[in-house]
A and B are shown apart, each in its own frame.
Chain A
């Protein structure tokens, strides 16, 4: 009782608080970032804008299988696939439309892709004056993919070779069930 009264008279609690704020004023450094000028380090596995990748020879990885479209929970991907000219067994995405304003950044499309053609970049500044800028086509996504992932995967020559032989010789092969 007397102790409490003495504490109140001497503003003990307020003095303790003043000590704490003074400690922060003098000793502690600011923990904030001056955002537009300095940006913080993003963690690995950060999920920014979805981008498309290329092989090291510059050809696009995407084979137009539409599995990303099927996996997308918010239906923001639209793939129109087509045959490669002169090679009827190889397909590619003629058009690939990705609506960033609908995207929920779940990365299911990245998991679904059989050829690792999609990846989540670390770009996170989507602000724009025109909402249509948020609807990306294949060219834009590839461009951003080049910027985000400069090191490209090597195209498997061995696979291509074997695939080619397989494709070329397919009609001459004897039937499998004999």
Chain B
């Protein structure tokens, strides 16, 4: 009995730690994005709150918390209220299967630096990232606003087009590691990262991840110059903050999955680095988080560089180019693996 409670307590503690770390990262990712973008545009970015604007995310959060909560007339109140939560929960729940670190032997047995390791981890993340799209869709529909509706529509079309490519690019990795579990996929990359064998799939994954998280150049659902703010035009206060959190949490989860699937998770760039000095001192967690940071930085970097695609260009890229390339990549991978095994 006592052991059961202890186990539940440990799991709850893990969840609290992971959520705290993730939400902290989400908050400071907004600041990092603003800072990096402004430096790319020869500006300084937020400088007022705290030294070099370091407390800006806290100020933003407090401001959003005290803002008036407006529900537009004619909106479907129930769906309007629940849509941001539908968007946020799947974004945060995906972190349950992300392995942050190598399993280590601690005082109370083996410590697993992850909440859980289910044997269909990658499928679980794909499923929940699709549920997240419902939040956007319902929020856009329930707002009773033409801009929000258009944003929701575009988001639905975009998610459907790019989820296929994303899934197909991931299947190549699954074929290589013969497992759907995130931990097993990471273990399989001990000697060589998957990006060496699946460079095309990596590029496809990054592009479709950008589209999934509604980032520039695929930010059509919230295109500022056309749709005010897209699906969350009518949202304010904490509900707006939920959408914002969901967007950035999705960015982090997509980067983590990219790091685990293609960049070897917690493994060092070369195998000898894990056993030899001086790289031995670097914790596997540091390697993992560096890779995540790199992909996140790359997303921000792209935002500072490329303009938004037109709607037909987006559809053309998704269906006419990326999907066939993903199929060819998958077939070639399958044939090669069949030969070798």
> Chain A: residues with CB nearer than 8 A to chain B?
14, 17-18, 20-22, 24-25, 28-32, 34
B contact residues around A17 at 8 Å (CB): 305-306
For the complex, give the distance between the alpha carbons of A28 and B43 in Å: 10
Whole-angstrom distance between the Cβ of A119 and the nearest chain B Cβ: 35
- Find the B residue at minimum CB distance from A23: B40
Given A17-B306, A32-B44, A34-B44, CB of A24 within 8 Å of CB of B39 = yes
A contact residues around B47 at 8 Å (CB): 34
For the complex, give the distance between the alpha carbons of A22 and B38 in Å: 12
CB pair B305 A21 closer than 8 Å: yes
Extra A-B contacts (15), CB below 8 Å, given A30-B39, A30-B43? A14-B302, A18-B301, A18-B302, A20-B305, A21-B40, A21-B301, A24-B40, A25-B36, A28-B42, A29-B42, A30-B42, A31-B42, A32-B42, A32-B44, A34-B47
For the complex, give the distance between the alpha carbons of A14 and B303 in Å: 11
For the complex, give the distance between the alpha carbons of A34 and B43 in Å: 10
CB pair B40 A30 closer than 8 Å: no
For the complex, give the distance between the alpha carbons of A20 and B304 in Å: 10
A-B contact pairs, 14 of them (CB 8 A): A14-B302, A17-B306, A18-B301, A18-B305, A21-B301, A21-B304, A24-B40, A24-B41, A24-B42, A25-B40, A29-B42, A30-B38, A30-B42, A34-B47
Within 8 A of A (CB), among B1-50: 36, 38-44, 47
Nearest 7 pairs of A and B residues by beta carbon: A17-B305, A21-B40, A21-B305, A21-B304, A30-B44, A31-B42, A25-B40
A contact residues around B306 at 8 Å (CB): 14, 17
For the complex, give the distance between the alpha carbons of A50 and B306 in Å: 47
Whole-angstrom distance between the Cβ of B123 and the nearest chain A Cβ: 30
For the complex, give the distance between the alpha carbons of A17 and B47 in Å: 27
Main secondary structure of the interface of B (DSSP, over half): loop
- Find the A residue at minimum CB distance from B304: A21
B contact residues around A32 at 8 Å (CB): 42-44
For the complex, give the distance between the alpha carbons of A13 and B125 in Å: 33
For the complex, give the distance between the alpha carbons of A20 and B40 in Å: 9
For the complex, give the distance between the alpha carbons of A43 and B38 in Å: 27
CB pair A25 B302 closer than 8 Å: no
B contact residues around A29 at 8 Å (CB): 42
Within 8 A of A (CB), among B284-315: 301-302, 304-306
CB pair B305 A25 closer than 8 Å: no
B contact residues around A14 at 8 Å (CB): 302, 305-306
- Find the A residue at minimum CB distance from B38: A30
Whole-angstrom distance between the Cβ of B316 and the nearest chain A Cβ: 13
For the complex, give the distance between the alpha carbons of A150 and B88 in Å: 62
Whole-angstrom distance between the Cβ of A28 and the nearest chain B Cβ: 5
For the complex, give the distance between the alpha carbons of A14 and B304 in Å: 11
A contact residues around B42 at 8 Å (CB): 24, 28-32
Whole-angstrom distance between the Cβ of A40 and the nearest chain B Cβ: 14
Whole-angstrom distance between the Cβ of B46 and the nearest chain A Cβ: 11
For the complex, give the distance between the alpha carbons of A21 and B40 in Å: 5
For the complex, give the distance between the alpha carbons of A48 and B47 in Å: 28
Contact with A along B297-341 (1 / 0, CB 8 A): 000011011100000000000000000000000000000000000
- Find the B residue at minimum CB distance from A8: B321
A contact residues around B36 at 8 Å (CB): 25
B contact residues around A28 at 8 Å (CB): 42
Whole-angstrom distance between the Cβ of B151 and the nearest chain A Cβ: 25
Most chain A CB inside 10 Å of its own CB: which residue of B44, B304, B305, B306: B305
A contact residues around B305 at 8 Å (CB): 14, 17-18, 20-21
- Find the A residue at minimum CB distance from B217: A14
- Find the B residue at minimum CB distance from A28: B42
Whole-angstrom distance between the Cβ of A136 and the nearest chain B Cβ: 32
Whole-angstrom distance between the Cβ of A14 and the nearest chain B Cβ: 6
- Find the A residue at minimum CB distance from B298: A18
For the complex, give the distance between the alpha carbons of A18 and B302 in Å: 7
B contact residues around A34 at 8 Å (CB): 44, 47
For the complex, give the distance between the alpha carbons of A22 and B37 in Å: 10
B contact residues around A18 at 8 Å (CB): 301-302, 305
A contact residues around B39 at 8 Å (CB): 24-25, 30
